[in-house]
Each structure stands twice: as structure tokens, then as C-alpha cells.
Amino acid sequence: MESTDGTKVSDPRTPPGRRERVGAGGDPVLPGPFDDPPGDGTDVVLDCGWGRLVFGQTFAHPSDVADVLRSEAAGSRDICIYLRDPHVLVSRLPDELFIDPSLTYRLDLANVQQDADAAAGLRIRELRDDADGHAVNRIYARNGMLTAPVDVLVANSATKHFLHLVAESRTGEIVGTITGVDHVAVFDDPESGSSLWCLTVDPNNAPPGTGKTLLLELAARLAERGRRFVDLSVLAENEGAIRLYERLGFERTPTLCVKRKNPINQRLFLPKMPDGYDELNPYARIIADEAMRRGIRVEVTDPAWAELRLSNGGRTVLTRESLSELTSAIAMSRCDDKRVTRRVFEDAGLTVPRGRTATGDDDDAAFMSSVGSVVVKPARGEQGAGITVGVSAPDSLATAVALARRYCADVLIEEMCRGEDLRVLLIDHEVVAAAIRRPASVLGDGRRSITELIERQSQRRAAATGGESRIPTDDLTRETVREAGFAMDDVLPEGAVLAVRRTANLHTGGTIHDVTSRLHPGIAAACVTASRALGIPVTGLDLLVRSCDQPEHVFIEANERPGLANHEPQPTAERFIDLLFPGTSAAHRLWTPAGVPAE
């Protein structure tokens, strides 16, 4: 949108009861920087091309400032300055906004004097055409700054709101630039102030003193207009620039700037990566990343154990991946022992496979005979270790029980139920994600042996999961291949798909496929019942289903430490941090239309 004088007004919102203006193209334009100020001086947003200046003192309600900053265009950088109590706004929206780590300096224009060290041979003039705009953008780019549309730069320079100056060398080359904003022209500022932005010079061709010359010329021109002062914002780490400003008579003011958290500003608001961060596995790192994004302090207390200490607002929570202090020892023990998990589910009226604790006698074989094939698993354990699927012969049963006892003295024998392996993730007793898990498989190419195919697929899975998923070439893999009618040295025909593991565990090369949007509501409701029965705030429930969009299901087990990273792009880390620090969630940062923070 564009006003009749060419000044860009970026904010497209027109709140009820707020007066509109119409630009040259017929589009409605909000009150803002017009040749004739709107009178009430409210909600002034000025488009500078590289982003917008939001004059906070012209806004009646901080919620409106938040709305403007939320509408920031991709690839731009908006700056809100002069907002009253900016820390209050940021405290309400800590994962969206931040206080810019810059200092604000003010120069009293009544005391401006020319400097004998100003660069000689420079012509300081106003930016006037596209060629100047392109030259300014080249200087911006060389200094790592955002560029601006040339038409915006030229149009802005033609108004009395901007005083956009360039430094021209004897050869006619543009070697420096500075932008001044006249607050009186923009919104009839009662303080008769102004500000300067984007002071920068060509690092290769500008003579010494170019920046100082531009600054003093801008100050002189603003003084001629009768302005009382000019403000600037400078990063606190830019000590060289600060020394220059202080030598020229600038003095610190308590003014703060507010910006929106975006990729461009990331360096300014993200904390330094904590020690041990690079050693974290993907399941802990996704939590650390989300916490730091919200301004929550992260300490890596044990990287090998994936343990973090998260702190915010006087609250501290220890986590090990998705297991936190909020999970009680009782809830954890209910998940840890699969026999207890079964009892809890049965007592809650949920469907589980028939099963028994192995006794190592004829009763085990009799149970297997009554149900057909069985699954043998350690009563306690994780990541699929020690599990044998599809046992149907007495000798195989004894072998499977012996294998399971390597991991736990107590062994569970369960009826083998057919179906797809479904993992449902619940946080705070709400379904956040659901995924079908499939056993590791390889695709034949007609050239490589099954062993080679497994090794290549294992490398790909490890690379995709940060080393968390690999296909072991153990006895279970060899037996699975043998049962399919192959030997490990056989060449798999081109296009043939061969499952090389019986279980879909991700740590043994299984793959995961998101089905959250397709999950049957009956399954979702049963999972909520299961999480409440366990009394656990975060859990990954494993079920066998005919299809994820059909109601038939049977519960297999519950995991007290599910991998949140396995369910991207579902918002698993976001919901986990919401649980730990509810005050940082979006639901706790609502604003009423009147601009009063919701309690």
C-alpha cells in the first residue's frame, strides 16, 4: 500500500473504529506518516524498505504493537522504538519478541558543531534516483545489512519524512549513506525530535571520516528544520561506533527497542549454546532448541545421559529427553514393568493381548499352544532388546525365553496379535502425534547381497537419526532373513522389498510414518484413558491396529521416555515445553481487544 505522497505504510490492519486513508491506488491506508499528519498521531508505522519503524509512543495499546510486529514481512527487520514499558510487552510474548541488545544515544542539536577532521572531497547530498538506490544497496550488502527495494528508497527520500543522504566522492561514486527520520513531519512529535538509521560506508572506497561527515551533515540539516535532538540505536558491542558518538556529544538515554524473533535477528536473542550441547542426541536437542527459543535457560548437566536443567522465572525442571521430574516414580514403574502396564490397562477396561509370566515349564508351551504364535519379551527393558516375535515351536520358545532373560530375569509371553505397529504420543493427556512404525527393510537392486543392502540401509538410517537408528546384523536379523527364504549372501532381486527385522523399533532400523491426521477418534480416546490410568504426563503408547483410521486396536506397552524428535513435523517439543513451563505457551500470552493482557 502507498499513501498519496508515496510513503509506504506496511501495516494492513484496520481495527474497528479506526480511521482509514486511501492511497493513490485506491487501497485503504492506516493513519501514519502522511504529509498532513492524522492529528491523533496514533499507530504510526513507517516503511524503510529493509523493515518498518514502529513508533511505540503513538500506540494506545501494547497489543496493537504486538500485532504490527507479528505482521513483519519475511526477510525484513522491524524495529519498535519509544514504546512505554517495552519490558512488559516482551514479558508477555517472550518467544515472539525480544529487547534489542542495543544502546540509544541522543545528540542535542542546539550544540552541533562541524568537525575539522571531517572527510575532505566529499559531496553530501540527498538520495535522488534509482542509481543512488542501487549504490546504497551495494553498500548495505557489503556491510552485511538488509537491502531495500530501490523504489521505496527513492520514494521515501522524496518526502519530508525522510532525510536520506549519500556521500559522493570526487569520482562520483557513492561511498556512504545515512537515513534521518523527521518525527515532526511523520507524526507531529510534540518533543520536536528526530532519529537516524543505517549510517554506513563503503569499506573499500570510503575515505577516513566519511561516517562522521555524513552524521554531522544530517545533524546540521535537522537543526535547520528546528529539531531539538536526534536519536540513534547502536549495538552495545559496537564499541568503536560508540566512542565516535560520545566524542561528537551524544549521550546515553534509557530508550529501548523491541524486535520480533526471526532468523535475521537470531544472533541477537539466542543465548550462547550451553556447554555439552553438541554432544546431545536428537531427542534431547529438540527440547533444548525449543527451550532456548523461548528464552528458557538450558544447562546440559550430563550430555551422555541426555540430561538437561531448564530454568525460567524461578522454576527449574530436570529432564532426560522427554522424561522429566513431572513423571512420578510410580508412573514410571508402571511403564517400566510390562506386566504392571498390562494390569493397569486391563483395570481401565482397555484391550491387551492374552499373556503370562514365563515359568520355564510345560505351562509356557501350553499357553502358546492355546493362542498360537506368541511374542516373548523381557518384562523390563526398552528399544526392543531381547524381544522375539512369532514364536510357535517349543524349542523356539525356550530359546526366546533364554534370550529375554539376558535382559531381565522376568519374562512375559504374550499372544501374537496381527496388525500395524502404531505409536501414539500423549502430552498432558492429549494426543499430540501418531505414527505407524514399520520394521527395517531393504530394497533389492539385483547386484548387492542382502548383507551389503543391510549395511547401506543402516548407514542411511544412522545418518538420518544422528546415529540413533541402525540395523544390527545379529541372530534375529539372520533368522528373519532365513524365514523369508533367503541367505545373507543372496542377491536380492531388483525391486524386491525384504523385511529384515520382526519388530518396528526405531533403534533397530525401523521407520516411522506420521498418521496423526488419520488417527481414529476411538483409538485416540482409548489412549487418553490409558495415559490417565498410568498417571503419566508424557508417554508413548504402542498399539497394534488393523488400520490407524479403524477403531480396532490392542495395547502392547507404554514408554515413559518417548522420542519427541521421531514425530516431526508434529509440535512435540512445543507441547512438552508448554507442559514444563505453561507460562511460556501461546495460550498464556493472549491479549484482549482492548490491549489488556489476559490473566
**Structural domains in the chain, sorted by start:** 21-266 (3.40.630.30), 354-413 (3.30.1490.20), 441-501 (no CATH)
Which CA distances in Å does 116 have to 202, 240, 248? 22, 19, 12
Look at residues 287, 172, 230 and name the one whose alpha carbon lies nearest to residue 568. 287
Give the span between the Cα atoms of 393 and 57, in whole angstroms: 80
Residue 180 C-alpha cell reads as 534521518
What does the pLDDT read at residue 586?
67
- 251: β partners: 106
The label of the residue with cell 525460567 reads 312
Give the span between the Cα atoms of 16 and 26, in whole angstroms: 20
* Positive/negative CA dihedral, 571, 575, 581, 585: positive
Q: Under a CB-based contact definition with an 8 Å cutoff, are residues 191 and 223 in contact?
A: no
- 597: β partners: 591
CA angle, residues 344, 350, 353, in degrees to nearest 5? 90
Question: If you write DSSP's letter for every residue of 267-309 in order, what string do you get?
Answer: HHHSPPPPTTGGG--HHHHHHHHHHHHTT-EEEEEEGGGTEEE
The label of the residue with cell 572527510 reads 119
Amino acid 89 reads L
Tell me the three-class secondary structure of 361-410, residue by residue.
Answer: CHHHHHHHHHHCCEEEEECECCCCCCCEEEECCHHHHHHHHHHHHCCCCC
Helix (H) or strand (E) holding 540, with range, is strand 538-545
Q: Does the pTM exceed 0.85? A: no
What residues have CB less than 8 Å from 144, skipping those under 6 apart? none
Give the span between the Cα atoms of 125 and 372, in whole angstroms: 91
Residue 498 C-alpha cell reads as 525384504
Q: Are strands 79-81 and 52-55 parallel, antiparallel or unpaired?
A: parallel
Give the span between the Cα atoms of 49 and 127, in whole angstroms: 14
Give the span between the Cα atoms of 316 and 160, in whole angstroms: 53
Give the span between the Cα atoms of 130 and 128, in whole angstroms: 7
What residues have CB less than 8 Å from 115, skipping those under 6 apart? 212, 216, 248
Give the span between the Cα atoms of 345 and 338, in whole angstroms: 10
Question: If you write DSSP's letter for every residue of 240-272 in order, what string do you get?
Answer: HHHHHHHHTT-EEE---EEEE--TTTHHHHSPP
Question: If you write DSSP's letter for every residue of 38-107 in order, what string do you get?
Answer: -SS--S-EEE-SSSEEEEGGG-S-HHHHHHHHHTPPTT---EEES-SSHHHHHHHSTTTEEE-SEEEEEE
* Positive/negative CA dihedral, 290, 292, 297, 302: positive
What does the pLDDT read at residue 6?
31
Total number of residues shown for the chain? 599
Burial of residue 115, with CB atoms counted within 10 A of its CB: 0-12 exposed, 13-18 middle, 19 or more buried: middle
Query: Helix %, strand %, coil % for the chain, to 5?
Result: 35, 25, 40
What does the pLDDT read at residue 1?
28
What does the pLDDT read at residue 120?
65
Amino acid 355 reads G
Question: Tens-digit pLDDT profile for the chain (599 aa)?
Answer: 223 233 333 333 333 223 233 233 333 333 333 333 333 448 999 999 999 999 999 999 999 999 999 999 988 999 999 999 999 999 988 878 999 999 999 999 997 766 555 566 789 999 999 999 999 999 998 888 999 999 999 999 999 999 999 999 988 999 999 999 999 999 999 999 999 999 999 988 888 889 999 999 999 999 999 999 999 999 998 998 899 899 999 999 999 999 999 888 888 887 778 899 999 999 999 999 999 888 889 999 999 999 999 998 889 999 999 999 999 999 999 999 999 999 999 999 999 999 999 998 889 989 998 988 998 999 887 777 788 888 888 888 988 888 989 998 989 999 989 899 999 999 999 999 999 988 888 888 899 999 899 888 888 777 767 677 788 888 888 888 888 889 899 899 988 888 888 777 777 887 888 999 999 999 999 999 999 999 999 999 999 999 999 999 999 999 999 999 888 789 999 999 999 999 887 655 544 433 333 33
Residue 118 C-alpha cell reads as 571531517
**N-to-C CA span, the chain:** 36
Give the span between the Cα atoms of 593 and 16, in whole angstroms: 10
What does the pLDDT read at residue 118?
56
The label of the residue with cell 536428537 reads 282
Give the span between the Cα atoms of 229 and 112, in whole angstroms: 10
The label of the residue with cell 496423526 reads 516
Q: Under a CB-based contact definition with an 8 Å cutoff, are residues 187 and 44 in contact?
A: yes
Other beta carbons within 10 Å of 455: 15
Q: Under a CB-based contact definition with an 8 Å cutoff, are residues 46 and 5 in contact?
A: no
Residue 566 C-alpha cell reads as 521421531
Q: Under a CB-based contact definition with an 8 Å cutoff, are residues 510 and 501 in contact?
A: yes
Q: Under a CB-based contact definition with an 8 Å cutoff, are residues 55 and 82 in contact?
A: yes
